[in-house]
Amino acid sequence: ETGVTQSPTHLIKTRGQQVTLRCSSQSGHNTVSWYQQALGQGPQFIFQYYREEENGRGNFPPRFSGLQFPNYSSELNVNALELDDSALYLCASSLELYQETQYFGPGTRLLVL
């Protein structure tokens, strides 16, 4: 086990709704990255937070937003859900920036109907 936990494990929402996914990083890990993994695809980078500030963002619209808290937990919020948002959402933590060793959580599987 990596020590990174995510909740909930599964979630079903309808189009247009909003969702909040949660991640608890390993203690002391200052960097958290969020990824979207569609079925049969590799993870796609959404954004990264370092010490509670957004450090970089992938090609995702602004309705994807995040927060990182001082207690090494973080959130991914998605507004105005679309059918294509159905995917496995993964968070990954690392000690500092630009480290190759990222520890992934088990993911939250989101289904949008």
Partner 1 sequence: QKEVEQDPGPLSVPEGAIVSLNCTYSNSAFQYFMWYRQYSRKGPELLMYTYSSGNKEDGRFTAQVDKSSKYISLFIRDSQPSDSATYLCAMRGTGGFKTIFGAGTRLFVKA
Distances 61 to 9, 22, 95 between C-alpha atoms, Å: 24, 19, 27
By CB under 8 A, tell whether 98 contacts partner 1: yes
Q: Which of 81, 90, 110, 112 binds partner 1 (CB under 8 A)?
A: 90
Minimal distance, residue 83 CB to partner 1, in Å? 21
Give yes or no for residue 100 binding partner 1 (CB under 8 A).
yes
Q: Using CB atoms within 10 A of its CB, is residue 83 exposed (0-12), middle (13-18) or buried (19+)?
A: exposed
- Which residue in the set 55, 65, 73, 86 belongs to the binding site for partner 1 (CB under 8 A)? 55
By CB under 8 A, name the one of 26, 30, 58, 73 that touches partner 1: 58
d(Cα 36, Cα 85) in Å, to the nearest integer?
A: 9
